Structure 1
């Protein structure tokens, strides 16, 4: 659910941040697999496995059909109710301004930009974007400096009527002005900004220049006329959750390799059956059951990669029984993350040490276990003592009570995969041992964004997925009191907003990261709103020969890679 930083993903099983379910992997890049290849010990180094092929090795023509967890109602990827799935679809018919290698090396897309220059002027970071003279929107209007201005003005937080998923980075910009002509944008930050390469990777059409269009113009609607790129929308059906893309005749760059690309909204069970029946060309196989069904299929390939993901358990402090930070801490310390992870990764030939940061992934430079430093430990006795001290005493049924109320709350689970249900039941059992009654409520994958974004829940298992390596740049998405998309635990402290703001004034990336990790420990120690649960592998099965997989952000097999969508297709 993020501008291109962290995003939210669904289920039990997606920092850019984007919302995503924690499920097993009905979408193209989710999952975990265990085909016994010995690459199972994860999270300490980056592994990409996406069948990279040069364009001349990819066939011209053909079709691909992919599953997607949801075709979100909100199709503006910048808006707070968008998800990782919103971003996935957006990328296929809107400008890809920048690319990243799997390792996170940045470059600009020459189809849209002919030059990008960064410099320091009077203590400010200044970036000059020179736009390709050929670049234009599908409605025929040129892509100009005003595209950058619109993207900045709608996402910088100055007008609260724009309900942005994140203002990180854009809030640090002082001005966006016209350069030598309309085809040049000059972006001036207010002081140094170490992470400028994470901004303007996606941009908004200048038609999206008022809050009504920004917030509501993409509700159950896509705007191909405001897009640009090798592909455009052929048709979309929000009721059935089907989106078809076709070649864009107005595109000036290398043509897309495919004649047609289709996304179909599917539950986990439906997607694995559809793959086995030849109805779709790729699906995630993140659980033992899913992997077992496909690992011996002929003419298929199983891909295993590092997932840029932190699965989390959020508690809603707005709920009366969860308002006390000590109660939230006790609940978290009553959950054995290692046992839940073993259930999650059962049959996948994979294990990992539970993650301890929402800022960085374990293989990144500067990573440390902030959650443990903040005081977390799995300790049922200590958890019970904390609940005693908070005034919650066990009743005759073993469930704690206070002022006549039971310590009970509800956890929605997304999707129908057996592994998801098993993980939820394990947590229920663990919490019952310390006198906490957690009940499971099953919800459809298609309802994930609406339920989570709506905030009508007590606890939630979901995930944050990253689109680039600049983790500390997006701390506000996680810990600021103004955050509206990722951290819905209602635990953010406004005093930390200023601390994060001050952090961003450090010009050196390494120094800023070190300071950010120290601040994360401080925040976790007092809030106890979000518990990191696992990272996990990204494992998908594809029909043999599908190449240049997951070119869009948040999808899973090419690390931090954002690749040209026109190169995705069938290998010759």
Structure 2
């Protein structure tokens, strides 16, 4: 199982985020813990810049090097794509572990927010030294490029999210070209979730935006302490080295390498010293690395929610009664049990895809719509005209009630979830065909909607999950692949972020999410912890709740 990323506020994350991601589990913690208690812990070895030695290489794995390098484009909005992008493109905004925004002075020398005539206005002053690798100054036109591509008024741009950008009233230069003034329609409580990265104006045309970055990272359009030194598409590796055109603080690492690997290969590569960190997100994986010399196990809360998606554009699943029955037949508590079996962590099935269980405003919205009830699922299928055949599989008009479940990678937990789901479907007369594909097919499967049913994760890139509610539930979303979000709910969903207080937004968001869940396209399952095995001494890297940092701060402790 893999992960999609929800926000365009990209930072050099200290975790190997998977933005539709592999199934995760918690490690033994010396006693039962849950999401709320783990959320108070961080484990990324925070170190000041001067405590990190110059030199060294950091090598880690990803399930794939996402073919679409442009993370503003919908197909590039994976955690893997975001991780790679952040190492050679501007990172204007990062976050502390407790969710406070930090503006990078190498890009922004001043950020001023004010309310003018009832509208939120933000003035960004850009460092006069800032420039892309192609020599283009970073000025107000880079903000303008992000806005024009992401505001949702031009369907030629296939974007991951329009949230927030669609509420900008005007974007203009300020005192000079190195200042930009962004004015919203009304109050925007979550403005810090926007403009976390920038888009080089050279990539603004829809053709380049959508196609120009495919299997081409375009380092000349990037900026930052590192740049691409080698991209080997065939062997699935990308290497970054210090950028000679960088004007800011020197990167501590000599080089940063990502290698595409399946889960089993990655755990072996870590044990053999070929990579420096690996996800230890299951009992078996944790057992393989725990106690290994020179290894730390780092744990904290994750910003990931694992969920089922039904492709409602397929013939069988186009019937809302069938989709409802599928979800009623799934015992989410059993899915959680599969993922947490034998581990010192407890979690209830998660009831929202918009907010995490430990965040303010969280409600169990899904529980208001669907409960595990296989008998009701059978009744729904009966009412939809699907009768039980002699082999136990339901039929209608001579066609069996059968569809596919795509499972990516070789992770045993992902395979176990697929098997458990198939057994639950069989119990109500549905035949689920499990199709196992390599992790490297992840983006292809998602972008092409080559599935009937899929289990994956969505990962927030900022503390402001509610800011991106339209990305989940608007009918024109490019992020959720169910194809069944109802246009009748759009006005309700879009109204959430227009409200003046957080509490009002939380209440409206819950109402909108309940309405969206009644289309039976997605089913949230669990919010799992983030557990990683890391070589001792790696600084500013690892699970840290909301923590993110810029690439020059990551390295090996003195």
Aligned to 2:488: 495
Partner residue of 1:547 out of 517, 529, 539:
539
Superposition pairs of residues 84-483 of structure 1, within 5 angstroms: 84-374=79-369, 376-483=370-477
Among 30, 34, 41, the residue aligned to 2:27: 34
Q: Give the superposition deviation at 1:33.
A: 4.1
Structure-2 residue corresponding to 1:20: 19
Cα distance in 1, alignment partners of residues 141 and 500 from structure 2: 27
Structure 1, unpaired ranges of 5+: 8-13, 25-30, 551-556
Cα deviation per residue 1:264-284 (whole Å; 9 max; x = unaligned)? 000011101101111000000
Q: Deviations over 1:478-511 (max 9, x none)?
A: 11111012x1111111121122222222122221
TM alignment of 1:492-571, pairs within 5 A? 492-524=485-517, 526-550=518-542, 557-571=543-557
3-state secondary structure, aligned to 2:498: coil
Larger mean CA deviation between 534-543 and 510-519 belongs to: 510-519
CA offsets 1:94-153 (integer angstroms, 9 cap, x no match): 111012111111121111111111112222211111111111111222211111111111
Give the superposed CA RMSD: 1.7
Task: Check the 8 A contact 2:169/2:183 in 1, yes or no.
Answer: yes
2:72 corresponds to which residue?
78
Cα deviation code 1:406-441 (max 9, x no counterpart): 111000101102221111111111110111111100
Counterpart contact for 1:128–1:186, Cα < 8 Å: yes
Maintained 8 Å contact 1:22/1:414: no
**Whole-angstrom CA distance in 2 between matches of 1:158 and 1:356:** 32
C-alpha distance in 2 between matches for 1:138 and 1:452? 32
Counterpart CA distance in 1 for 2:294 and 2:18 is 33
Alignment-derived partner of residue 46 in structure 2: 52
Distance 2:218 2:484 in 1: 36
Measured in 2, the distance between the counterparts of 1:221 and 1:357 equals 36
Paired with 1:98 and 1:534, the residues of 2 have a C-alpha distance of 28
Cα deviation for residue 76 of structure 1 reads 0.2
- Compute the displacement of 1:523 (Å): 2.0
- The answer on whether the counterparts of 1:3 and 1:77 sit within 8 Å (CA) in structure 2 is no
Structure 2 residues not aligned, in runs of 5+: none
1:28 corresponds to: none
Equivalent-residue separation in structure 1 for 2:452 and 2:319 (angstroms): 14
3-state SS of 1:320 partner: coil
Equivalent pairs counted in the alignment come to 548
CA distance in 1: counterparts of 2:447 and 2:483, whole angstroms: 13
The answer to whether the Cα contact below 8 Å between 1:157 and 1:167 also exists between their aligned partners in 2 is yes
TM-score, with structure 1 as normaliser: 0.93
In 2, are the aligned partners of 1:43 and 1:352 still within 8 Å (CA)?
Answer: no
Q: TM (normalized to structure 2)?
A: 0.95
